[in-house]
Amino acid sequence: MSIETQQLHRALITKDRSLPCARYRSMNEILPTLYLGDCKAILDPITLLSSGVTHVLSLRQSPVYMRHPVNVKHGQIFIDDTEDTWLLDSLNDAMNFIERAMGSGGTVLVHCQEGRSRSASVVIAFLMKHFQVSFEQAWGYVRRRRPVAGPNPGFVDQLKIWERRGYW
């Protein structure tokens, strides 16, 4: 395990407050290769390029198109942000997209409309699975990195189910 991974794992488990708490931005760094943001983030090619983003995963009700000629791979998962929307059906596709991107040395931005619920839920799920931590640990870490993050109650319940199932 690298030093960075050890520090992150410690932060996830111990609620380490030494990590910087970001104010509201269109995107916030969760890991060096994982960002969480809103729909404005994909409209800013300078921020995408300066952050090293190579892949964007959009979680929206309808298609979203990147307007700038940025060489970024774009995945989309169509999902509503309602308490009765079944998130678990989308997690496998989301995990595959993120893992493939990172596996190829890429940096991923996961976004939804406001960067609060859908995208935060997927990022929390990724941290849970990748670092084998609880929902509460992953959510606490994400909240410290992006304070506006907050999965809707239905997504929270489903992420807890996903944790009990062993991340499948």
**What is the set of active-site residues?**
112
List Cβ neighbours of 100 (8 Å cut-off, separation of 6 or more).
none
- For 65: left if phi > 0, alpha if psi spans -120 to 50, otherwise beta; the answer is beta
Query: If you compute the radius of gyration of the chain from its CA atoms, what whole number of angstroms results?
Result: 15
Other CB atoms within a 10 A radius of the CB of residue 100 amount to: 14
Nearest to 147, CA basis, from 120, 125, 109: 120
* 28 vs 36: CA distance, rounded Å: 5
Nearest to 109, CA basis, from 156, 149, 51: 51
DSSP string, 122-161: HHHHHHHHHHT--HHHHHHHHHHH-TT----HHHHHHHHH
- Return the axis-axis angle of helices 118-131 and 135-145, rounded to nearest 10°: 120
